[in-house]
Amino acid sequence: MTPHGGAGGAEASAADRRAGSLRLSYIVGTYPVLTETFIDREVETLLDRGVDLEIVSIRRPGANLSSSQRALSRRVRYLLPASIPRLVVAHLVAAITRPRIYFGTLAWLLTRPHAAARSRTALHFATGVYAAWTLRDRRGVHIHAHFVDRAATVALVASRLLNTTYSVTAHAREIYVQPVLLKERIGQAAFAVTCTEYNRTHLSHLVVPAVASRVMRLYHGLDLTAFAEPGGRRVVGPDHVLLAVAQLKEKKGLRYLIEACRLLVDRGRAIRCEIVGDGPLRGDLERQVRELNLQELVVFAGALPFSEVLERYRLASAFVLPCIVASDGDRD
């Protein structure tokens, strides 16, 4: 692809023109989140391409954000917490101006399976009505939900009230551990994308063929130039540096990585292992490191912003992540 002239330049210009005509509203449960930089990259790329993008987050994030994420958060519309008067107005307007859609959607949602989640579904319906009222100045936009969870229900409700379309991105936990209204959320969407062929095949088997044809694989994008070593060369030290970047959860399989480090050391390999991330299993993993006498070789760096993680990638000999299917069915 060339920046000026030629077929590559013409194709790029045409793609930019098409992107510039798009109007999207993203709905996410909580945004931004330090461990969900894949959404950040998507958002930043769409904005760079000139897409008219509105980001809506159901809840506000915590304080642990990178500087770039804090900048992104300033352009996000946050739905909750919302004042009672604003919620009442949003529901009155929807019930009076679109009664069949309002009451019909509520009845449809509350008569689906998953009776145990009915109260949460009602809450998500209420949030969807408020989202539609919040986005009333963006009628005609396409709505996209990241994760087929509460965000998808909010997108479904809002799209019906705004008489527009919505789509979803399916990731992991909401597919395998908490598949509440999974078939319904995907079935009502204009299309669904997911980041692996494994996920696409699994989802396609859950829905009718007409819906399965609208489930597509779309890998998370990476700007590979950001991973290039300065000067084109990696700094090489005396040890092989193994890098893992993950939330410290069962599905990441990090206990097997620590076991593998012990095996490598016993075989005379000069290695160091750095684990970037945090999570509920940190105490258990640190205990395992002590029991295997690897305190000098396996280091826990904690959660880091993506800019600092990039530096770790550039210095590493290999990236290692031995993911497994967790006991609750969660997986990557």
Confidence at 223, pLDDT banded by 50, 70, 90: confident
The token pair that represents 152 in the structure block: 């998808």
Average of per-residue pLDDT values in the chain: 91
- Write out pLDDT tens, residues 53-100: 999 999 999 988 999 999 999 999 999 999 999 999 999 999 999 999
- Residue 256 Rama label (left phi>0; alpha psi -120 to 50; beta): alpha
Poorest-pLDDT segment among 48-52, 131-135, 139-143, 222-226: 222-226
Q: In sequence order, what are the beta bridge partners of 169?
A: 146, 193
Q: In what order do the strands lie in the sheet with 318-319?
A: 298-302, 271-276, 240-245, 318-319
Cα gap 194→175, rounded to integer Å: 10
- How many CB atoms are located within 10 Å of the residue 41 CB? 16
The answer on pLDDT for 7 being more than 50 is no
Cβ–Cβ under 8 Å, residues 251 and 325: yes
CATH topology of domain 6-217: Rossmann fold (3.40.50)
Q: In sequence order, what are the beta bridge partners of 299?
A: 274
Cβ–Cβ under 8 Å, residues 73 and 65: yes
pTM, whole model, 2 decimals?
Answer: 0.87
| Every domain range in the chain assigned CATH 3.40.50.2000 | 6-217, 226-319
Q: For the domain bounded by 226-319, which CATH number is listed?
A: 3.40.50.2000
